[in-house]
Amino acid sequence: MATEIWKQLTSAEEEAEAMIKGAKREAAELLAKTRRDLAAERGKQLADARAQAEQELGRVLTQAKQEASELRKKAEAEAEQLRAQAEAKMAGVLEFIKERIRN
């Protein structure tokens, strides 16, 4: 009878160990799947963030190019105006010098 009880206990212990191993295996598989899912989600979030950053960079770059173009046009207009003023003054200066030379 003691042998029978011992066999039952041993059998129950083996079943418990098998159940524990199975539970550990399932937990490890679930953990691995969760890690893969998290890595995939993280990758998707990074790709989305990268795309948004590239869009924002493109927008800012376009705006900067427009502002630079406007500044360049303004500078060119001011330079042209200054050239015209210099030419007008130069004609007056030349006339003054000619008058001084004649007199």
pLDDT in tens, the chain (103 residues): 888 888 888 888 999 999 999 999 999 999 999 999 999 999 999 999 999 999 999 999 999 999 999 999 999 999 999 999 998 889 888 888 888 888 7
pLDDT for 65 equals: 98
Residue with tokens 């050239």: 83
3-10 long-range contacts, CB within 8 A, separation 24+:
none
pLDDT for 92 equals: 86
- Note the pTM of the prediction, 2 decimals: 0.54
pLDDT for 33 equals: 98
45 token code pair:
């979030």
97 token code pair:
């010098």
C-alpha to C-alpha distances, 22 to 11, 16, 17, 27, 75, nearest whole angstrom: 16, 10, 8, 8, 78
| CA quadruple 6, 7, 12, 13: dihedral sign | positive
pLDDT for 66 equals: 98
In three-state form (DSSP H/G/I as H, E/B as E, the rest C), the secondary structure along 6-34 is HHHHHHHHHHHHHHHHHHHHHHHHHHHHH
